[in-house]
């Protein structure tokens, strides 16, 4: 059952799709002070799931999180905000319920941080809707919540193939080289990503004429090889006379305004930019229409970036800072003045105060950005999604975004933002998955191998062994870091085998993904969601159920030659070095230490279940999704969900059959 409670005058976030009459009775479970603060006593053994893309474990207890979409490529355990804000919690203890704080401004979640047994949620203003969802099990609660927020986005099937990306592919030649080297190394490939380097001076919807003189021909040439090019689109529009997007935006008042009514100025990759007012439907339609510039070149996938929005600095704060620096006296600079100076400079990037200094036009009303901050990225993706439905009505377009809010899952997927080639970030990526699924984000994945910092060949291989299970499977890295395409490493052959195995797994992954979409379920579940009576399962933070048949327990520590795994029931352990080198073994319920060689993929098939398995293929186009064998317990029946991988009407395209 879902009940809605309204406080003050909530902004219509569009997170939910069902109209629910607001209750007039008192909000259950929580106490509220009428000023946006809600408290709930927790018991020692209560588990608090949720919060989507956040730091720390699957059980969120013990930290203070802040929903405030924020660009933080250096996030660590003590970080409070990441790229997305997903204010859904699932409390699992004596009382079991879900709660969604539908509020688009800054929202704090103190989950047993100040007081170990107290949960305090604080919305910046008491203008929000709170939904309480009750049910008999975690899964039932999630299902109801997902029905409330609407069906998740389904990308084209090719988006489930391997994607190679790097910030720093600077020319058509670079792209051809990636394709050729993958081919030579036997690495299957479905997509190559174009980072900001393809644009002319980082201007959205432009293509650099010197470095990418024939993008249309290149796109066609790559398609011939089964490879889709996926360009990036950034939120900020470069301020430059003669640049059409800039000029149209200014003329039509499509940009966010400053206090004085002028176009607000921030700085991102292109330098000084204006931010499109994605909360204004007219601006959304206008910006969305621009994607046609690239679809006309044959492009059928996009990633939307910097849409928290990230602001490296604002003109005003930079001027103020320079002024203060100008007044510094070198001779009398003490250590505190020195730290004040460095702090001032570091504080320019993503300064929270800047987000209070611009405005949106919502139905003719001026709305301060900070009040709707977490909706910005979602509305950018919405702009693209809605426009593309008109531009390319006959097929699905790949979309994923960096920033998001609940509701954005209907328009696109997300990648989990900038991470590092750190072992802790490999674990973190996995721990976010169940919470993201609860919030509707099913087409998800992390930058495989890590974005920032230098990757080592072992982290690449271990990360691949995890990421072969995530719907979005993309190797992406930052300019200036060590190259990390699998072919640069000595262990390239082992990496290639992992990627080939991904293609064998696609029928299962795609099927479980579709099940999760159509049945409003989670694709990645904590063990306790399926083994509710097993107290040990509740403690497991580093294993996940993938769909209804598999359990994964990735290795996420350097130099580890294996790991402890808890089996909540008898399972079949599968070891694979390649498609042709597979061994299985039945293990009893309980604790096990499992050896996992560096070049070996290990996963588990649940008792009396089996998964469909395809032959490896060069890309999804060449994959024979019908020639399936079964891997797992003999005589098991698997319910396969599939479709043509392209029809926009996903409901009608769906085919369900039982296979043995």
Q: Which is nearer to ligand GLC, 385 or 451 (CB)?
A: 451
SS3 track for 560-596: CCEEEEEECCCEEEEEEEECCEEEEEEECCEEEEEEC
Percent composition of the chain: helix, strand, coil (DSSP 3-state, to 5): 30, 25, 45
CB of residue 307 vs ligand GLC: minimum separation in angstroms? Answer: 10
Residue 551: both structure tokens together: 């359990």
Q: Which is nearer to ligand GLC, 13 or 416 (CB)?
A: 416
Q: Which is nearer to ligand GLC, 16 or 72 (CB)?
A: 72
Task: Give the CB-nearest residue to ligand GLC.
Answer: 167
CB of residue 431 vs ligand GLC: minimum separation in angstroms? Answer: 20
Distance between CA atoms of residues 81 and 75, nearest Å: 9
List 138, 277, 305, 643, residue binding ligand GLC (CB under 6 A)? 305
CB of residue 197 vs ligand GLC: minimum separation in angstroms? Answer: 8
- Looking up tokens 């051809």 gives 176
Distance between CA atoms of residues 503 and 496, nearest Å: 11
CB of residue 168 vs ligand GLC: minimum separation in angstroms? Answer: 9
- In the shown chain, the binding pattern of residues 104 to 123 toward ligand GLC, with x for contact by CB under 6 A and - for none, equals --------------------
Q: Which is nearer to ligand GLC, 47 or 403 (CB)?
A: 403
CB of residue 310 vs ligand GLC: minimum separation in angstroms? Answer: 8
Alpha helices in 256-375 (DSSP H): 281-289, 292-295, 315-326, 335-346, 369-372
CB of residue 450 vs ligand GLC: minimum separation in angstroms? Answer: 12
CB of residue 302 vs ligand GLC: minimum separation in angstroms? Answer: 13
Q: Which is nearer to ligand GLC, 8 or 73 (CB)?
A: 73
Residue 363: both structure tokens together: 């139905």
Residue 418 touches ligand GLC, criterion: CB under 6 A? yes
CB of residue 467 vs ligand GLC: minimum separation in angstroms? Answer: 16
- In the shown chain, the binding pattern of residues 586 to 605 toward ligand GLC, with x for contact by CB under 6 A and - for none, equals --------------------
List 257, 402, 425, 474, residue binding ligand GLC (CB under 6 A)? 402
Q: Which residues contact 320 (CB under 8 A, 6 or more apart)?
A: none
Closest CA to 169 of 76, 256, 231: 231
Residue 53 touches ligand GLC, criterion: CB under 6 A? no
Q: Which is nearer to ligand GLC, 374 or 477 (CB)?
A: 477
Q: Are the CB atoms for 600 and 494 separated by under 8 Å?
A: no
CB of residue 535 vs ligand GLC: minimum separation in angstroms? Answer: 40
Distance between CA atoms of residues 20 and 18, nearest Å: 6
Residue 485: both structure tokens together: 């395409």
Q: Which is nearer to ligand GLC, 286 or 451 (CB)?
A: 451
List 65, 70, 167, 287, residue binding ligand GLC (CB under 6 A)? 167
Q: Which is nearer to ligand GLC, 46 or 195 (CB)?
A: 195
Q: Which is nearer to ligand GLC, 191 or 361 (CB)?
A: 191
Q: Which is nearer to ligand GLC, 196 or 499 (CB)?
A: 196
Q: Are the CB atoms for 197 and 229 separated by under 8 Å?
A: no
CB of residue 633 vs ligand GLC: minimum separation in angstroms? Answer: 41
Distance between CA atoms of residues 527 and 591, nearest Å: 14
DSSP 204-255: TT---TTTSTTHHHHHHHHHHTT-EEEEEEES-EE--TT-HHHHHHHHTT-B
Site residues for ligand GLC, 442-481, by CB under 6 A, read: 451, 476
Q: Is the peptide bond before 195 cis (omega within 30 degrees of 0)?
A: no
Range 644-647 contact pairs with CB under 8 angstroms and sequence separation of 24 or more: 644/157, 645/156, 645/157, 645/158, 645/510, 645/620, 646/156, 646/157, 646/395, 646/396, 647/395, 647/396
Q: Are the CB atoms for 87 and 69 separated by under 8 Å?
A: no
Q: Is 90 exposed, middle or buried (0-12, 13-18, 19+ CB in 10 A)?
A: buried
DSSP 404-462: EETTGGGT-EEE----BS-HHHHHHHHHHHHHHHHTT--SEE-EET-SBS---HHHHHH
CB of residue 192 vs ligand GLC: minimum separation in angstroms? Answer: 14
Q: Which is nearer to ligand GLC, 455 or 540 (CB)?
A: 455
H or E segment at 179?
helix 172-184
Q: Is 112 exposed, middle or buried (0-12, 13-18, 19+ CB in 10 A)?
A: buried
Distance between CA atoms of residues 502 and 52, nearest Å: 25
Closest CA to 390 of 278, 281, 291, 244: 291
Site residues for ligand GLC, 499-528, by CB under 6 A, read: none
CB of residue 167 vs ligand GLC: minimum separation in angstroms? Answer: 3
H or E segment at 612?
strand 610-613
Distance between CA atoms of residues 53 and 229, nearest Å: 27
Residue 286 touches ligand GLC, criterion: CB under 6 A? no
Q: Which is nearer to ligand GLC, 86 or 402 (CB)?
A: 402
**Count of residues that interact with ligand GLC, criterion CB under 6 A:** 9
Q: Are the CB atoms for 456 and 421 separated by under 8 Å?
A: yes
Residue 169 touches ligand GLC, criterion: CB under 6 A? no
Task: Output the CA–CA distances (angstroms, integers) from residue 357 to 3, 311, 316, 579, in the order listed.
Answer: 35, 12, 10, 56
Q: Which is nearer to ligand GLC, 162 or 167 (CB)?
A: 167
Q: What is the DSSP letter of 263?
A: B
Residue 195 touches ligand GLC, criterion: CB under 6 A? yes
CB of residue 470 vs ligand GLC: minimum separation in angstroms? Answer: 16
Q: Which is nearer to ligand GLC, 312 or 633 (CB)?
A: 312
Q: Which is nearer to ligand GLC, 234 or 263 (CB)?
A: 234
List 196, 227, 499, 574, residue binding ligand GLC (CB under 6 A)? 196
CB of residue 537 vs ligand GLC: minimum separation in angstroms? Answer: 35
Q: Which is nearer to ligand GLC, 402 or 525 (CB)?
A: 402
Closest CA to 140 of 40, 46, 2: 2
Site residues for ligand GLC, 214-253, by CB under 6 A, read: 232
CB of residue 126 vs ligand GLC: minimum separation in angstroms? Answer: 34
CB of residue 228 vs ligand GLC: minimum separation in angstroms? Answer: 18
Contacting residues toward ligand GLC, per CB under 6 A: 167, 195-196, 232, 305, 402, 418, 451, 476
């Amino acid at each position: 059952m879902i009940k809605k409670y309204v406080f003050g005058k909530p902004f219509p976030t569009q997170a939910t799709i069902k109209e629910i009459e607001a209750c007039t009775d008192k909000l259950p479970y929580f106490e509220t002070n009428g000023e946006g603060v809600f408290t709930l006593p927790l018991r020692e053994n209560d588990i608090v799931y949720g919060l989507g893309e956040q730091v720390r474990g699957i059980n969120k207890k013990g930290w203070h999180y802040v929903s405030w979409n924020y660009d933080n490529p250096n996030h660590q355990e003590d970080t409070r905000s990441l790229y997305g804000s997903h204010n859904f919690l699932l409390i699992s203890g004596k009382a079991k319920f879900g709660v969604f704080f539908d509020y688009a401004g800054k929202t704090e979640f103190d989950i047993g941080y100040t007081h170990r047994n107290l949960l305090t949620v604080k919305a910046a203003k008491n203008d929000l809707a709170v939904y309480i969802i009750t049910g008999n099990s975690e899964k039932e609660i999630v299902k109801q919540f997902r029905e409330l927020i609407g069906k998740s986005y389904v990308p084209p099937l090719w988006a489930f193939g391997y994607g190679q990306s790097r910030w720093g592919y600077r020319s058509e030649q670079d792209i051809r080289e990636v394709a050729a080297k993958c081919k030579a190394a036997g690495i299957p490939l479905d997509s190559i990503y174009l980072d900001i380097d393809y644009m002319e001076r980082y201007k959205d919807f432009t293509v650099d004429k010197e470095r990418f003189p024939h993008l249309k021909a290149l796109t066609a040439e790559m398609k011939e090889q089964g490879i889709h090019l996926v360009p990036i689109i950034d939120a900020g529009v470069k301020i430059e006379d003669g640049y059409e997007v800039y000029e149209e935006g200014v003329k039509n008042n499509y940009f966010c305004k400053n206090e004085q009514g002028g176009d607000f100025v921030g700085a991102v990759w292109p330098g000084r930019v204006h931010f499109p007012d994605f909360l204004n439907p007219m601006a959304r339609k206008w910006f969305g229409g621009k994607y046609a510039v690239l679809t006309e070149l044959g492009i059928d996938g996009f990633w939307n970036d910097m849409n928290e929005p990230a602001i490296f600095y604002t003109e005003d704060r930079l001027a103020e800072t320079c002024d203060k620096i100008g007044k510094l006296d070198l001779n009398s600079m003490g250590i505190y003045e020195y730290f004040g100076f460095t702090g001032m400079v570091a504080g320019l990037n993503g300064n929270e105060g800047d987000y209070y200094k611009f405005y949106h036009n919502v139905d003719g009303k001026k709305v301060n950005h900070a009040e709707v901050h977490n909706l910005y990225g979602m509305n950018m993706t919405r702009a693209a999604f809605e426009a593309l439905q008109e531009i390319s009505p006959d097929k699905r377009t790949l979309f994923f975004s960096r920033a998001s809010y609940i509701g954005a899952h209907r328009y696109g997927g997300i990648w989990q933002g900038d991470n590092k080639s750190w072992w802790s970030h490999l674990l973190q990526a996995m721990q976010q998955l169940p919470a993201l699924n609860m919030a509707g984000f099913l087409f998800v994945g992390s930058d495989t191998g890590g974005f920032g910092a230098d990757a080592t060949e072992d982290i690449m291989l271990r990360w691949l062994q995890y990421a072969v299970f995530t719907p979005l499977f993309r190797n992406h890295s930052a300019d200036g870091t060590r190259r990390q395409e699998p072919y640069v490493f000595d262990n390239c052959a082992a990496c290639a085998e992992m990627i080939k195995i991904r293609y064998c797994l696609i029928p299962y992954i795609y099927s479980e993904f579709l099940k999760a979409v159509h049945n409003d379920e989670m694709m990645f579940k904590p063990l306790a969601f399926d083994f509710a009576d097993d107290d040990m399962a509740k403690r497991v933070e580093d294993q996940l159920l993938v769909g209804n048949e598999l359990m994964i327990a990735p290795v996420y520590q350097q130099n580890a030659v294996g790991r402890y795994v808890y089996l909540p029931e008898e399972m079949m352990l599968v070891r694979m070095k390649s498609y042709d080198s597979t061994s299985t073994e039945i293990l009893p319920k309980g604790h096990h230490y499992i050896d996992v060689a560096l070049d070996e993929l290990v996963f588990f098939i649940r008792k009396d279940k089996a998964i469909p398995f395809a032959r490896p293929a060069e890309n999804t186009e060449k994959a024979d999704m019908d020639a399936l064998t079964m891997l797992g317990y003999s005589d098991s029946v698997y319910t396969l969900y599939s479709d043509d991988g392209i029809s926009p009407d996903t409901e009608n395209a769906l085919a369900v059959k039982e296979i043995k």
